[in-house]
Amino acid sequence: MKHKTFFWFILPTFLAMFVFIFLPIISTVLQSIHTPHDKILMTTENCDPFGCKQVTSLDHDAINNLKRNEPLGKFVGLEIYFDRGHLAIKNVNKLWQNNDSVSQFLSSLYDLPFYKALFFTLTFTFTVTPIMLILGFLIALAVNNINQKLRGMVIFFSLLPMIVTPLIGSIILFWMIDSRGIIGTFIQWIFNDPFLSLKASTLLTWIMLIVYGVWHAIPFSFIVFYAGLQTVPKDQIESARIDGASKFQEIIYITLPHLIPLITFVTLIQLMDNFRVFEPIVGFNAEAHATSLSWIIFNDLGGETRQLSSAASSSILTILGVSILLLPILIRTWKDFYIKK
């Protein structure tokens, strides 16, 4: 395709992404290194027949002037990144010196809001991803072995947890694990403790969120792996059987190697999607026990006072986090592309 034709075809989508993805990133970077201007006060003397008084008021002219000259606000460099709400360099330094063991250090680090969110986000990402891969693979294996006629129905019901709106899915589960809900009641009955509440403890809240995450993500790996299983070469399996391989060996030595590209793909997508975990925290009303990077951005942006600079810094840190997470995979894609050439 000629450069010119290509240009006109790609223009609309390019413009959409440039204006609403690229420029906002630039704007976010700029906002993260500026804060709103300080209020400028002026003192004037008001004189009336009874004497003179000193009155302090906002100097609107000066403020407007300043806003016109520096519309982004006051330049503060990386100050917001290093403050207590974000990387908290000073506090971290102090904690590092005051705590003797690493575990003690980590647990006091957890009291800082950004690190608290980071801990949960990473824990969520790195527990949900492997669990959903394994369970999705097991279900795919199972479905591959049942009656052909049943498979359509199984796939239909399997899709529901993934297709449902994340916020709605988490609310539905939240109502069920409520101490008056059916799962909540069931758990109380198992542990014989009528006051057991999943919402009260941090550990149980984390487990609950991870269970939700797995529930929501299994269908994806299941569907992809199930499709992959249809393409496993039959002759290889047959010759393995003739050589006396067990079912287990068959899976380890033939099926799994065949699925490796799919496993990489699902892992890539899941790392991206789990890193942005947000809706379940709102749905489960769990912010007292678990916050995520996306949640702290949302929290800064919502409500009466929109703290744009703080949200912008968190956003940039989150983007950096995603980049680090995906860098190995991006490098591999890049290498593949050049090796193929």
**Cα 143 from chain centroid (whole Å):** 30
Segment interacting with another protein (CB under 8 A) among 44-52, 100-108, 112-120, 330-338: 330-338
Q: Tell me the per-residue interface mask from 222 to 241 with another protein, x by CB under 8 A, - otherwise.
A: -xx--xx-------------
The number of beta carbons lying within 10 Å of the beta carbon of residue 61 is 10
Q: Does 278 engage in binding with another protein (CB under 8 A)?
A: yes
Q: How far apart are CA 172 and CA 176, in angstroms?
A: 6
Q: Does 288 engage in binding with another protein (CB under 8 A)?
A: no
CA atoms within 13 A on the CB side of 10: 10
Segment interacting with another protein (CB under 8 A) among 55-63, 81-89, 216-224, 249-257: 216-224
- For 253-313, the DSSP string reads IIIHHHHHHHHHHHHHHHHHHHHT--HHHHHTT-TTT---HHHHHHHHHSSSS--HHHHHH
What are the beta bridge partners of residue 51?
Answer: 48
CB of 181 to another protein, least distance (A): 6
CA dihedral angle for residue 284, residue 289, residue 292, residue 293, rounded to 10 degrees: 140
Any idea which residue has 């002037």 for tokens?
A: 65
Coil, strand or helix at 212: helix
Q: Does 12 engage in binding with another protein (CB under 8 A)?
A: yes
Chosen residue from 27, 64, 104, 202 binding another protein by CB under 8 A: 27
Coil, strand or helix at 177: helix
Nearer to another protein, 34 or 95 (CB): 34
Q: Does 208 engage in binding with another protein (CB under 8 A)?
A: no
Nearer to another protein, 2 or 54 (CB): 2
Segment interacting with another protein (CB under 8 A) among 50-58, 83-91, 101-109, 260-268: 260-268
Q: How far apart are CA 160 and CA 165, in angstroms?
A: 10
Q: Does 35 engage in binding with another protein (CB under 8 A)?
A: no
Nearer to another protein, 127 or 166 (CB): 166
Residues binding another protein: what is the number (CB under 8 A)?
99
Q: Does 6 engage in binding with another protein (CB under 8 A)?
A: yes
Q: How far apart are CA 70 and CA 67, in angstroms?
A: 5
What are the beta bridge partners of residue 182?
Answer: none
Q: Does 306 engage in binding with another protein (CB under 8 A)?
A: yes
Q: How far apart are CA 271 and CA 252, in angstroms?
A: 24
CB of 30 to another protein, least distance (A): 9
Coil, strand or helix at 183: helix
Chosen residue from 116, 232, 282, 287 binding another protein by CB under 8 A: 282
Chosen residue from 17, 55, 78, 200 binding another protein by CB under 8 A: 17
Segment interacting with another protein (CB under 8 A) among 37-45, 58-66, 107-115, 321-329: 321-329
CB of 87 to another protein, least distance (A): 17
Segment interacting with another protein (CB under 8 A) among 23-31, 40-48, 52-60, 95-103: 23-31
Q: Does 246 engage in binding with another protein (CB under 8 A)?
A: no
Give backbone dihedrals phi and psi of 130, rounded to 5 degrees, phi first. -65, -40
CB of 252 to another protein, least distance (A): 17
Question: 232: which residues sit within 8 A by CB, 6+ positions away?
Answer: 254, 255, 258, 259
Residues 135-194, interacting with another protein (CB under 8 A): 138-139, 142-143, 145-146, 152, 154-161, 163-169, 171-173, 175-176, 178, 180-182, 185-186
CB of 141 to another protein, least distance (A): 8
What are the beta bridge partners of residue 56?
Answer: 43
Which pair of tokens denotes residue 255? 């099926």
